[in-house]
Structure 1
Amino acid sequence: MSIRLIVKHPDDVLREQAKEVTKFNANLHKLLDDMADTMYDADGVGLAAPQVGISKRVIVVDVGDDNGLIELVNPEFVSMEGEQLGPEGCLSIPGLQGDVRRANRVVIRGFDRNGKPLQYEGTELLSRAFQHEVDHLNGVLFVDLAESVYEARREPEQDGE
């Protein structure tokens, strides 16, 4: 397992339609392991393979809930409903955030690292993360959908208290 370089906008791979995964093998397992390590190292809640320069339909998500780390290969939405408007950022577009309108509840299916079918239901932040990462697989960035884009808010520094 290792940390990979996160590709930054406007790299072309971020605008490509990612290719479907057909081989569930050790290379895929390494990619998933590296993507999780990279996401955690960057304090992200999701990462798509194009963000590490690999045009494959693979995402990892961990929003800090009971699901823990979710790995999905060839994800697709089964249903989407409701609406939410909220802030998003992206590890590939540092320094910017935007308010993006998303479905509030989704059902998504795909495969695990061994090709076993999986399905998840997500609401609120998990729903948003799934949609954001699947957009990456289709060459769509949050700035394309944002109703407004602004500088990311910085966390206040601790002063030793």
Structure 2
Amino acid sequence: MAVRQIVKFPDVRLRAVAEPVVAFDDGLRALASDLIDTMRAAPGVGITAPHIGVARRLVVLELSPQDVRIYVNPRITWASQEKIRHTEGSVSMPGVVEEVERHAGVEITYQDMHGRWQTEMADGFLAVCHQHEIDQLDGIFWIHRLSKLKRDRLIKRYGKIG
């Protein structure tokens, strides 16, 4: 539908907790479509409504061109004790990446675009994506999972890019 402007770090909207989606209507479908277009233009693998300044619990992931997934009101209901490290970045902070430690596996519950509750088990890269985007919905920007030293260095690098 439309490529929307992405909120850039350090905008305070990236630290706000997103509100649950309650209306499963044409407005939600249009927002999801805009998120897909915006994520592809960025480019990115995942995006949330807060990334475009909309404080709603909506996530879009595109693991491949044939695999676009939409999650409404997702939450983690289980996480493995095993951890993995994966390189992460954000459409809201383009040009910088860093390794982040996350749970190797998670179970999430979410609603589909019709409001039906679903459950999904994920491991590896998909588990990392879920944790990264759900953190964003909870107002936790990915760099806050780094040590203060790494975070400060990354912010300095980002400042030189912009």
TM range (shorter): 0.7 to 0.9
The one-letter amino acid of 2:110's match is G
* Equivalent position of 2:73 in the other structure: 74
Do the aligned residues in 2 keep the contact of 1:98 with 1:142 (CA within 8 Å)? no
Q: Does 1:132 align with 2:143?
A: no
Letter in 2 for 1:39: M
2:44 is matched by which residue type in structure 1? Answer: G
* Cα distance in 2 between the residues matched to 1:40 and 1:124: 22
The 3-state SS of whatever aligns with 2:64 is coil
Could you list the per-position Cα deviations for residues 30-81 of structure 1 after superposition, in whole angstroms to 9, with x for gaps in the alignment? 0011101111222211001100110001101122297x11101110112111
- Distance, in Å, in 2 between the alignment partners of 1:51 and 1:18 is 11
Secondary structure of the 2:63 match is coil
Q: TM-score, normalised by structure 2?
A: 0.87
Match runs of 1:36-115 below 5 Å = 36-64=36-64, 68-81=67-80, 82-115=82-115
The root-mean-square deviation of aligned C-alpha atoms, in Å, is 1.7
What TM-score comes out, normalization by structure 1 length?
0.87
